[in-house]
Amino acid sequence: MKRMIFLLTSLLLVSSLASAAIKTETVTYRDNGTEMKGYMAYDDSIEGERPGVLVVHEWWGHNEYPRERARMLAEEGYIAFALDMYGDGKTASHPDDAGKFAGAVRENMEVAESRFHAALRELRDHPLSEDDNIAAIGYCFGGGIVLEMARRGMDIDGVASFHGTLGTQSPAGEGDIKTRIRVYHGADDPFVKPEAVEAFKQEMNKAGVDYEFTAYPGAKHAFTNPGATELGEKFELPLAYDEQADKKSWQSMLEFFEEIFD
């Protein structure tokens, strides 16, 4: 019994030390007069520069979920910056407000692009960031944003969209997209119709993009978010967490990063 207690205590100590190495910084930055609230995470036990990853939030805004993903990326050896697309760290607690916030950004992609690049500068300017090794990931609304930034010629190493929107008012032409793309999609996501999936694939193929599209059978919208099922039940929305799809898509993303940052 004493030996078991000792082993458990040792494991908890190791876990605590590992967590203690992850440093986080709340970052206030500006874009065209609008104050933005971001969140930087990195492993302080690693010396020197490392690749950076931008994290774009769901339509709920810059809440704890993208911050947790930033910390998870830090644990993998990256420096991650969870950005703010709404301004002042604004978040929504009801789908009506979330839809309004997200819609306002989607309707003005010039503003969205400017805010994205303001965050990109923050990440690149950090002393621990390798400014020539950068990727971006996004969830739901954020997945759509990183795909839109790719369509607009964002020159970074790769983007990954998790249960993101696929439609666009400005389809990419040949040579427009300069980055590699990975899309992780819930095959049972009612917010993204099969015709939208087919249109996206045709767009990518015509544009000659290096992309992979993975659909997870049975997975619904927001399948990576552990809080999705509760939110779905609360607001009667087809949201649900899928642990298997979450883990598989995260592992695939990590393997993708190993390729692009090699």
Mean local confidence (pLDDT), 121-146: 97
pLDDT at position 231, please?
Answer: 97
Residues 148, 103, 151: CA angle, nearest 5 degrees: 5
**Which has the closest alpha carbon to 89: 27, 37, 162, 39?**
37
pLDDT at position 240, please?
Answer: 98
pLDDT tops 90 at residue 41: yes
Question: Is the CB of residue 13 less than 8 Å from the CB of residue 99?
Answer: no
Mean local confidence (pLDDT), 196-214: 98
Residue 19: band (very low, low, confident or very high) from pLDDT cuts 50, 70, 90: low
- Mean pLDDT (the chain) is 93
When the candidates are 3.40.50.1820, 3.90.550.10, 3.60.130.10, 3.60.20.10, the CATH number that belongs to 22-260 is 3.40.50.1820
**214: three-class secondary structure by DSSP:** strand
pLDDT at position 3, please?
Answer: 44
d(CA 58, CA 96): 14
Backbone angles phi, psi at 140, to 5 degrees: 55, -115
Residue 137: band (very low, low, confident or very high) from pLDDT cuts 50, 70, 90: very high
The DSSP 8-state label assigned to residue 134 in this structure reads E
pLDDT at position 149, please?
Answer: 98
**Which has the closest alpha carbon to 37: 53, 47, 48, 26?**
26
pLDDT at position 2, please?
Answer: 44
**Which has the closest alpha carbon to 98: 58, 68, 65?**
58
d(CA 78, CA 221): 27
Alpha helices in 168-222 (DSSP H): 194-207
Alpha helices in the chain (DSSP H): 2-20, 64-75, 95-106, 109-125, 141-151, 194-207, 228-235, 243-260
pLDDT tops 70 at residue 1: no
Mean local confidence (pLDDT), 33-56: 97
The CA R_g of the chain, rounded to the nearest whole Å, is 19
pLDDT at position 20, please?
Answer: 59
Mean local confidence (pLDDT), 52-69: 98
**Which has the closest alpha carbon to 141: 182, 192, 188, 179?**
192
Q: What sign does the CA torsion over 104, 107, 108, 113 have?
A: positive
Which is more confidently placed, 177 or 16? 177
pLDDT at position 36, please?
Answer: 97
pLDDT tops 60 at residue 13: no
pLDDT tops 90 at residue 219: yes
pTM of the predicted model, to two decimals?
0.92
pLDDT tops 70 at residue 7: no
- The per-residue b/e assignment along 157-180, b for 16 or more CB within 10 angstroms, e otherwise, is bbbbbbbbbbebeeebeeeebebb
pLDDT tens profile 68-113: 999 999 999 999 999 999 999 999 999 999 999 999 999 999 999 9
Torsion angle (degrees, nearest 10) of CA 96, 102, 108, 109: -160
Token pair, residue 59, equals 């339509």
pLDDT at position 262, please?
Answer: 78
pLDDT tops 90 at residue 18: no
Question: Is the CB of residue 224 less than 8 Å from the CB of residue 139?
Answer: yes
